[in-house]
Every structure is written in structure tokens, then in C-alpha cells.
């Protein structure tokens, strides 16, 4: 889901407070766009993103107008210790989105946001697509997540194969 916070004309800490409220209500994979008109707000939003674990990208649209994008959450396997919890949150998205939209949000959309992070991006090539030279995690699921997104809620049983950076991390085949 995409959220927009219009904090134009607001001085800190108001843009940060407004954004924090949206982050608190956001789900994994959500994209938050914040409009501000001063560099102090951009810097403080960067600090907020780092503190809350969000991805952060800012762009100066015109004089005194900045667009800041935050992506709440991570790709499925970014933090293996929390994978089970992240997957339960993914299943909750079913209330608002179809399975295809959910999969796109938690994979491609977050990869796209990461690719906008400039020098902070650890991957020099394309992200979130399967093609030669691109970076993508590949999962083999025991079932069809387009029909049943809840398969992701039990990764120990339902994720049979994990390939990341060309290396096999899990193989239950």
C-alpha cells in the first residue's frame, strides 16, 4: 500500500511526528512518500528511517520541495531470525490486497526502493527481477502462493529451496 504524508510548510518535528504515525500503522512492504520543503526535515526523516529500520530515499523535486520515500519492512529473507514474524504480517495483507499484489509489494516494490538508495545500495545491478546479471532471491514454495498466500506463514515447512546471491541457503528437495 502507498501512503503519502504532505508536510509542506511544516517545521520539525512536525513532519517526523506525522510520518511516525503513518509508519506505526503501516504493513510490511508499504511505501510512504513524504513531501517536505526544508533540508532539516529531510535529515530528520533520514534519522527516523534509520531508527525504525525503513529504507530511505530523498529527491529534490524543485527549490524548497523534497520527496522522501520510505519503505517499511524488508524483503522476506533480510533478517532470517524474524522471517516467521514477517511472514505472518504478510498473510495479514490479504485483507486489503490480492495475492499477486502482496507478492509484488514484499519483493519487487521493496527491491525497487532499495535500488534508488544510491551509494547505500549494496547491489550494483537490477534488483527483484530474474534475468542475467540481476540480483534476486529465489524461493521454491510447496504450493502456489498466488492461490494461497498463507503458505508463507509457515516457512519451515513450505519454503523448500532458497537461493540468494547464487548460493543455496536451504534445500529440502
Which of 40-49, 64-73, 122-131, 158-167 is predicted with the least confidence, judged by mean pLDDT? Answer: 64-73
C-alpha–C-alpha distance, residues 32 and 141, integer Å: 29
Are 136 and 130 within 8 A, CB to CB? yes
Q: pLDDT tens digit string along 13-27?
A: 889 999 988 888 887
Q: pLDDT tens digit string along 27-44?
A: 777 888 999 998 899 988
Pairing of strands 65-71, 31-36: antiparallel
- What number is the average pLDDT over the span 154-169? 87
C-alpha–C-alpha distance, residues 66 and 58, integer Å: 7
C-alpha–C-alpha distance, residues 11 and 61, integer Å: 18
Q: pLDDT tens digit string along 126-155?
A: 776 777 877 777 889 999 999 999 898 888
Whether residue 11 has pLDDT greater than 60: yes
Looking at residue 76, its pLDDT comes to 45
Whether residue 49 has pLDDT greater than 50: yes
Mean pLDDT rounded to a whole number for the chain: 80
Q: pTM of the full predicted structure?
A: 0.54
Looking at residue 78, its pLDDT comes to 54
Q: pLDDT tens digit string along 103-134?
A: 877 777 777 777 766 676 777 777 767 778 77
Are 165 and 134 within 8 A, CB to CB? no
Amino acid at each position: 500500500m502507498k501512503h503519502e504524508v504532505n508536510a509542506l510548510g511544516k517545521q520539525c518535528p512536525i513532519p517526523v511526528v506525522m510520518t511516525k504515525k503513518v509508519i506505526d500503522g503501516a504493513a510490511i512492504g508499504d511505501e510512504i512518500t513524504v513531501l517536505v520543503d526544508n533540508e532539516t526535515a529531510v535529515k530528520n526523516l533520514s534519522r527516523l528511517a534509520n531508527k525504525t529500520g525503513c529504507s530511505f530515499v530523498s529527491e529534490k523535486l524543485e527549490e524548497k520541495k523534497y520527496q522522501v520515500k520510505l519503505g517499511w519492512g524488508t524483503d522476506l529473507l533480510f533478517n532470517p531470525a524474524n522471517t516467521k514474524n514477517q511472514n505472518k504480517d504478510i498473510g495479514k495483507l490479504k485483507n486489503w490486497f490480492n495475492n499477486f499484489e502482496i507478492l509484488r509489494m514484499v519483493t519487487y516494490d521493496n527491491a525497487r526502493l532499495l535500488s534508488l538508495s544510491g551509494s547505500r545500495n549494496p547491489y550494483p545491478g537490477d534488483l527483484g527481477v530474474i534475468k542475467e546479471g540481476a540480483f534476486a532471491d529465489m524461493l521454491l514454495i510447496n504450493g502456489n502462493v498466488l492461490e494461497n498466500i498463507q503458505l508463507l506463514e509457515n516457512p519451515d515447512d513450505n519454503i523448500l529451496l532458497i537461493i540468494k546471491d547464487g548460493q543455496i541457503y536451504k534445500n529440502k528437495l
